[in-house]
Structure 1
Amino acid sequence: MEGTIYSLIPALLMLLLVLFTRKVILSLGVGIIVGAFMLTQMDIGSGLALIWSLFSSIFISDGSLNTGSLYLLGFLFLLGVTTAFMTASGGSRAFGKWAVKRIRNRRGAKLIPAILGIVIFIDDYFNALAVGQVARPVTDRYQLSRAKLAYYIDSTSAPVTVISPISSWGAYIIGTIGSILAANEITDYQALQAFILMIPANFYAFAALLLVFLTIFLKLDIGPMRKHEERALETGQLTNPDKGDVPGDLNDEFKEHDNGKISHLILPIVALVLGTVVSMIVTGVNNSGEQVDILSIFANTNVNISLFIGGLSAVILAGVLYTGQAQPKSSMGHVFIEGLKAMLPAIYILVFAWMIGDIISQLQTGEYLASVFSQADISIAYLPFLIFIISGFMALATGTSWGTFGIMLPIAGEVAAVTEPAFILPALSAVLAGSVFGDHCSPISDTTILSSTGAGSNHIDHVMTQLPYAGIAALAASVGYIVLGMTGQVWIPLFITLILVLVIGIAIHYFSPSLKTEKN
């Protein structure tokens, strides 16, 4: 069944279950079981053994610790503990009070995650989790639903990092582009120059970013997002209470210190940022060999261990600040345990997502989709559009942008080089754009999971509320890629894409008035 149309079954079944049941753990679990039995020809014993192997490989691989996964899981736990200390010390409350005096309306609160999401462009994981920690005290004060916050985080993190050459994504993409150009004997430009030339053709990234700001200034609450915003404004419930615990939320019995200071929140976040960035630079330099430059540093950095070191720095400082207060209201052990427990929903989802990702990889779902594309008789005029759509569906099904990059970039480059060499850079851009689009729609995407974690949103609520926005940006980008294929131009299709997003946003604003209870 590997590499055939049947390899789509686990991914499609999981997506359908997510849509109909809204239970992400159940949906992922069914997908894992079905995929495992498909890989073992329906043998129950072998299937169960494979499931155990997939689970254990997250922690131990080839006889040694799987440090990449462990560092990321450890970072999530550390982030939960840091949040608990910042809350218990009263830092979050103090920052919220301070921000309310300076950020005078709900629009200002919305701008914080949007702007921070653009400024923090070095890595999507770091972006998703750091922005949520800074913005949440303010957005909570203005009763912004956690689903809306998760949308702002997710729709700025990947779109910004995918067009930034100085980022973990940019470094990886530039390295991949270099090998594609060499393989197809293209010497007109170097890899970095090619990446920069590709930026304007990443229509989805620009469409998604524009839509974020239209959502803020035109108060666009589309589809299920409207219900979340109505509930937040009318009742003060920022998440759906019927969905149970959400990542990062602490127990209701958790007591905050009354005399907390802003520094109890700001200093641990500064430690998190500095610890992570410095560690990324150090690990990048150490792994770069003799030739060290900014691109090699980001290409060779170890993001997961850097996040762990940053998280550890934040926990230590937050713990010191908490214990330094007079008469803390909760014991340090209680705060620590509550912080760990708060991250368990995110850990469960991430572990299951990794397992089904392995299943889909072994079934060669991505390779099957790529083969369908490469064997099709495609008109050059529709090449960028079809590459965008195929890449989007592949990222949706597999839950990985980087995996889609690895499969689709070489194929798109080769197809374009053979049919029309002038289209090679737009074709590669279409892969990047489609991958981010699919990533935004996938319930098993790492960045989607971490965005809901950073925002403290129910994961499936984040996925379902983001879908209409991602669909609008993808529709506009699709029109742009069709125009690009017909004209061979880049700037005119980009302009058309952005105008289309603007027109759709204004139309939604006109025909669907903003919430009555929202004043600004």
Structure 2
Amino acid sequence: DATAAPICIIAPISSWAAAVGSNLKTTGAFTSDFSAFVATIPYNFYALLSLVMVAVICLTNADFGPMRRSELRALKGDLGAVDVPQASQFEAAEKGKVWDMLVPIGSLIVFAVVGLLYDGGYWGSDPAYHTMAAAFGNCTAAKALVWASFGALVVSFLLFVPRGLLSFRTFMDGAVEGMKAMLPANIILVLAWTISGVCRDLLQTPVFVQTLVADGNVSGGLLPAIVFLIAGFLSFSTGTAWGTFGILIPIVVPVAQGIDPDLVVVTLSATLAGSVFGDHCSPISDTTILSSAGAGCSHIEHVSTQLGYACIVAFCCFVGYVIAGFTKASLAWSLGGAVAALLVSVFFMHMLSMKRQPDAIVQENAN
């Protein structure tokens, strides 16, 4: 989950970049929307610090908070809310190779990219969409992903059945089981979209945030940090990063131009970073729901265990944006301060968690 949206928001060739660019067009503040998006990447502290957090946790095993409690419980054999799969009704094929897994996954990625370009008009009659950035911005991802899924399924069929790895019946039974496994996630998604609609249409959360930003008297130095918090709140409440882009970008860019033109790029980056933060830890976000479903973990368990990590990263991002606001967008000071704050925070929280929750294995060895 931590390497999903944070990667997409700093990938120049992606539908996310196209979505940001389409919102930037309405401001008229940049001569090149693509160049403006690329300029935000070094200041997108949440995306960068999320990747640093993943690397630090993987290399040092410095878990803390609810995640550490869950891991200690798992070490004792209690998997808690994890949905442990029952013994499979399918027998493993003796002739199966690693490539039998990599080729279908690779074909899924290739078909998805080709489908996005085709649906966006890359090979169409309109020359305006004959670039990758324009085609990605014009595409409908839902249709392209359906085509990619079907194409990968056909590739798997041709790879497995003719070679005798799986019988036709076993292959089709496996496909049906895979679809059934996604049904709970689809139900949660539908209900989450319902809650998101209530926040957006009935509670008028976007209008409230828009008024708060437009009418608030914000000092220049604190502008990026405050925009980051507002974007995070709105994205968390509605469960969508893209919707947050569309609401805040047309507002914050003119505000930043009026307060301090030197902070326009940093403020735009703070908008994108806050949007991803809220989307990353929101229980009604599609990325959160599908991550928990893919891991076979209880949805609420996943939300509670990752929330501590996400909030630590967000706190360090806030520190970085405060520094950026008062140093006229100095990347060295702001990003360096944010990374330093992250490392200190992670190891402090780990040491604090060690005192409250001694490692079960250490206790057993001592006994």
Same fold (TM over 0.5): yes
Task: Tell me which residue corresponds to 2:187.
Answer: 348
Q: Does 1:265 align with 2:265?
A: no
Q: CA distance change for structure 1 residues 449 and 286 in 2, over 3 Å: closer, same or farther?
A: farther
Q: Alignment length, in residue pairs?
A: 353
Counterpart of 1:501 (choices 342, 347, 353) is 342
Counterpart of 1:252 (choices 87, 94, 99) is 87
* Superposition deviation, residue 516 in structure 1: 5.8
State the distance in 2 between where 1:485 and 1:359 align: 35
State the distance in 2 between where 1:327 and 1:381 align: 63
> Which digits, 9 at most, give the CA deviation of each residue in 1:358-410, with x for residues without a partner?
22221221111221222122222211111110110000000000000000111
* Superposition deviation, residue 426 in structure 1: 1.3
Code of the aligned partner of 2:16: W
* Superposition deviation, residue 471 in structure 1: 0.6
Unaligned runs of 5+ in 2: 363-367
Q: CA distance change for structure 1 residues 198 and 457 in 2, over 3 Å: closer, same or farther?
A: same
How does 1:208-219 map onto structure 2 within 5 Å? 208-219=50-61
Task: Tell me which residue corresponds to 1:297.
Answer: 135
Q: Does 1:316 align with 2:154?
A: yes
TM-score by length of structure 2 reads 0.88
Q: Does 1:220 align with 2:62?
A: yes
Q: Which moved more, 1:202-211 or 1:502-511?
A: 502-511
Counterpart of 1:400 (choices 234, 237, 240) is 240
* Superposition deviation, residue 226 in structure 1: 1.4
Unaligned runs of 5+ in 1: 1-153
How does 1:120-139 map onto structure 2 within 5 Å? none
Task: Tell me which residue corresponds to 1:178.
Answer: 25
Q: CA distance change for structure 1 residues 288 and 369 in 2, over 3 Å: closer, same or farther?
A: farther
Q: Does 1:307 align with 2:145?
A: yes
Q: Which moved more, 1:498-507 or 1:508-517?
A: 508-517
Code of the aligned partner of 2:131: D
> Which digits, 9 at most, give the CA deviation of each residue in 1:47-104, with x for residues without a partner?
xxxxxxxxxxxxxxxxxxxxxxxxxxxxxxxxxxxxxxxxxxxxxxxxxxxxxxxxxx
Q: Is the 8 A contact 1:268 1:315 kept in 2?
A: yes
Code of the aligned partner of 2:238: T
Task: Tell me which residue corresponds to 1:51.
Answer: none
State the distance in 2 between where 1:428 and 1:331 align: 51
Q: Is the 8 A contact 1:399 1:442 kept in 2?
A: yes
Task: Tell me which residue corresponds to 2:228.
Answer: 388
How does 1:268-287 map onto structure 2 within 5 Å? 268-284=104-120, 285-286=122-123
Q: Does 1:421 align with 2:261?
A: yes
State the distance in 1 between where 2:86 and 2:108 align: 24
State the distance in 2 between where 1:490 and 1:457 align: 41
Q: Secondary structure at the match of 2:64?
A: coil
Q: Is the 8 A contact 1:218 1:506 kept in 2?
A: no
Code of the aligned partner of 1:165: P
Q: Is the 8 A contact 1:370 1:411 kept in 2?
A: yes
* Superposition deviation, residue 320 in structure 1: 4.2
How does 1:139-150 map onto structure 2 within 5 Å? none
Q: CA distance change for structure 1 residues 193 and 326 in 2, over 3 Å: closer, same or farther?
A: closer
State the distance in 1 between where 2:13 and 2:103 align: 26
> Which digits, 9 at most, give the CA deviation of each residue in 1:92-130, with x for residues without a partner?
xxxxxxxxxxxxxxxxxxxxxxxxxxxxxxxxxxxxxxx
Counterpart of 1:360 (choices 190, 199, 204) is 199
Task: Tell me which residue corresponds to 1:440.
Answer: 280
* Superposition deviation, residue 216 in structure 1: 0.7
Q: Is the 8 A contact 2:40 2:266 kept in 1?
A: yes
State the distance in 2 between where 1:405 and 1:390 align: 12
Q: Is the 8 A contact 1:452 1:462 kept in 2?
A: yes
Task: Tell me which residue corresponds to 1:474.
Answer: 314
> Which digits, 9 at most, give the CA deviation of each residue in 1:11-59, with x for residues without a partner?
xxxxxxxxxxxxxxxxxxxxxxxxxxxxxxxxxxxxxxxxxxxxxxxxx
Q: Secondary structure at the match of 1:230?
A: helix
Q: Secondary structure at the match of 1:381?
A: coil
Code of the aligned partner of 2:8: T
Q: Is the 8 A contact 2:11 2:17 kept in 1?
A: yes
Q: Is the 8 A contact 1:276 1:307 kept in 2?
A: yes
* Superposition deviation, residue 209 in structure 1: 1.3
Q: Is the 8 A contact 1:440 1:466 kept in 2?
A: no
TM-score by length of structure 1 reads 0.63
Q: Secondary structure at the match of 1:155?
A: coil
Q: Is the 8 A contact 2:17 2:34 kept in 1?
A: no
State the distance in 1 between where 2:2 and 2:42 align: 18
* Superposition deviation, residue 333 in structure 1: 4.8
* Superposition deviation, residue 334 in structure 1: 3.6
Q: CA distance change for structure 1 residues 332 and 293 in 2, over 3 Å: closer, same or farther?
A: closer
Task: Tell me which residue corresponds to 2:72.
Answer: 230
Task: Tell me which residue corresponds to 2:365.
Answer: none
State the distance in 2 between where 1:287 and 1:365 align: 39
Q: Is the 8 A contact 1:439 1:447 kept in 2?
A: yes
* Superposition deviation, residue 441 in structure 1: 1.6
